[in-house]
Structure 1
């Protein structure tokens, strides 16, 4: 090294890894395999690298807690009340924290109205890993290039994801409504995200097979829009006798509109939601349950150990309650 003391950056460059990976390998931290640790340590020994004692303390979490590794949960949702109004996000954080256990890793939650095309200048110090929610296309790919990344729901090609079987969930909801004799079925679908589109596809596949026309409106997973959409549906089909809501929050808006219109649930109109959240239990709402906590935990486990098999799809199950 031309008489200069070798640095961690030198070790990373020669070993062909990032500086963060080199640090984790030298310190024997999570996220590096035994083979990687042996390789990086051999390079460090060859270069005569000696870890600085203070730097080592920071890397192993024995110094300031502010220097802990972190996993960023990046949520794209235009609803400013999303974190309090949508149980889904709380369930994600519960599953993520469960997976982390007592490991010295912090969760950093960030909600933005729109996904930036690429990480900004703040990404000069990327987190250990990222959990992406509602981030697709170029943005998902850009983040994946900067740090370990797993998406909840399909993102960009090549980005590892874990998701519920939304298509099957939509299919189950539709089959339930058709099999219980509902004839004039409406739907308040979700925004154009992969998960919402999959639910729509499964639902409409049953409707097409049953030769039934669906009176549908687009929603955005908010109660306000679902309320307005249900008012529209009733104006278009006053004899509506069933509604599929693409999420439980949407179902709350549907139920409010039906109640104000004097329509009894389930006697006049059956309602089925999607999520299986505490909202569904409290409202006695039939809903497709998706294991959100398990989904998030699986994603975190994969962030910590990318050698694990890709998480893939988790099963969904319709729970029938008093609303249908």
Structure 2
């Protein structure tokens, strides 16, 4: 009687990995570590396993029905204009595409007002943006997941040094002699709160008069917030905006109030986006593209070292 041909399940069992991992190790160039690929391929050779056409299809990133593997970028933002109004998201997509390169993997962007319920349509990997708490943890339990910024305990994340960036912005304003400092901070997200904490470390310690308003990273809210700051502190001589989009609203309010920038009021933003360059705005630069690329590389190969904090740097321009 002829011995039954070994199956992919046999290879996976002997190698001590899942069937999906065994398939990717034998046929693919992403999704497994070099150590796993070597071990699985050695077991396959020892057992005499030969991949079939379905397995080879998986190597190209396509399932048995011809569907491509995909990485989902899940963005939670209730601003309907977020994708066009906030350069941050375009930079995230740019970094993700760089990491995917010429692999035949789809990158899918999904913007929602609140985290959607889990379903059976699980992507190869999921990149979370503005997803915190139990929602982030639930996605992580379902499959490969990484977040931009802190999400939930146990969820791997990559983030810029937000607190350090806030510290740099405040130190610049204090060191250039500004004494009546205002701030339009961000929403109750980890990244925004880190920027706020870093900023207040300097301004509180320097005993400067700080007036602040919490915003939501939109231009309209920032405009209203800046008007409120001016009403509360008419001699305001500096404003920190927690993102560059926020800074655009602040600049509009200052212009309408007849306050000159930087002669009367210095303004510093946060992101280092093309908005900052176009407006000649001093801004804390964060390497968003590298942040997203690092996250996607980790999705493709979880054996890579866990990504951590990326450095930020203040670029001083004519606004301060």
Answer whether TM exceeds 0.5 for this pair. yes
CA distance 1:48–1:245, shift in 2 (3 Å): same
Residue correspondence of structure 1 range 139-218 to structure 2 within 5 A = 139-218=135-214
Following the alignment from structure 2 to structure 1, what is the Cα–Cα distance between the partners of residues 189 and 62? 42
Shift of 1:284: 0.8
Shift of 1:213: 2.8
CA distance 1:226–1:13, shift in 2 (3 Å): farther
Following the alignment from structure 1 to structure 2, what is the Cα–Cα distance between the partners of residues 88 and 62? 28
Aligned residue pairs total 317
Task: Report whether the alignment pairs 1:78 with 2:78.
Answer: yes
SS in 2 for 1:158: coil
Shift of 1:294: 1.1
Following the alignment from structure 1 to structure 2, what is the Cα–Cα distance between the partners of residues 227 and 192? 19
Contact 2:179 2:209 in 1 (8 A): no
SS in 2 for 1:273: strand
Following the alignment from structure 2 to structure 1, what is the Cα–Cα distance between the partners of residues 288 and 94? 9
Residue correspondence of structure 1 range 1-324 to structure 2 within 5 A = 17-37=17-37, 40=40, 51-53=51-53, 55-61=54-60, 67-116=67-116, 119-121=117-119, 124-324=120-320
Contact 1:57 1:63 in 2 (8 A): no
Contact 2:145 2:299 in 1 (8 A): yes
Unaligned runs of 5+ in 1: none
**Cα RMSD over matched residues?**
2.5
TM score, norm. by length of structure 1: 0.89
Shift of 1:4: 9.9
TM score, norm. by length of structure 2: 0.90
Unaligned runs of 5+ in 2: none
Shift of 1:8: 5.4
SS in 2 for 1:217: strand
Contact 1:28 1:37 in 2 (8 A): no
